[in-house]
Amino acid sequence: MDRFDLKIIEQLQRNDNLSIAQLAEGVGLSVTPCWRRIQRLEKEGVIEKRIAVLNPEKLNLGLTVFVMIKTDKHNQTWLDAFKEAVQSFPEVMEVNRLAGEYDYLLKVITRDNQSFDAFYKRLIAKIELSNVTSCFSMEQVKKTTELPLGDII
């Protein structure tokens, strides 16, 4: 990956609506080499997919809850069941396995407390957990989908 590739992905992660001509001009390439680089970056998996970023509040999905999970089960059977369970919930936006006091951190987005409670009841019905702690987000101070590319090269 060279500086042109980095410029391309930096521009795309900020604004995927740019035409190839606009993108090529912005990174200092002609259209064809720019397009080929994008194709290669997609094929290599550097660019996973292109999406629209939606505003949850405009869609009546204003509650974000971080769910911290502890389990006393540390075997492949439980892990497979857990992965299957969390994959089945559209409210679960992210799942991270952690080192430290908690085993997993889920980011859940839903309408309100009642819909979160319904989610929680469905979750504990699907998978055995030893401890669950939920933290309700009061305010989102920063949100970005842009990766910090400045330190790559």
| pLDDT digit string, tens, across residues 9-19 | 999 999 999 99
- Under a CB-based contact definition with an 8 Å cutoff, are residues 69 and 104 in contact? yes
Domain spans in the chain, listed from the N-terminal domain onward: 3-44, 57-136
pTM for this prediction: 0.87
Per-residue pLDDT of the chain in tens (153 residues, 90 and over written 9): 899 999 999 999 999 999 999 999 999 999 999 999 999 999 999 999 998 899 999 999 999 999 999 999 989 999 999 999 999 999 999 999 999 999 999 999 999 999 999 999 999 999 999 999 999 999 999 999 999 998 775
Average pLDDT value for the chain: 95
Q: What is the C-alpha to C-alpha distance for residues 30 and 109, in angstroms, rounded to an integer?
A: 42
Nearest to 95 by CA among 75, 111, 114, 71: 71
pLDDT computed for residue 18 by the predictor: 93
Between the alpha carbon of residue 16 and those of residues 9, 30, 52, 54, 63, the distances in Å are 9, 18, 9, 14, 27
pLDDT tens digits, 69-85? 999 998 999 999 999 99
Options 1.10.8.350, 1.10.10.10, 3.90.1150.10, 3.40.50.720; CATH of 3-44: 1.10.10.10
The C-alpha atoms of residue 15 and residue 87 are separated, in whole angstroms, by: 28
57-136: CATH number: 3.30.70.920
pLDDT per residue as tens digits for the range 54-73: 999 999 999 999 999 999 99
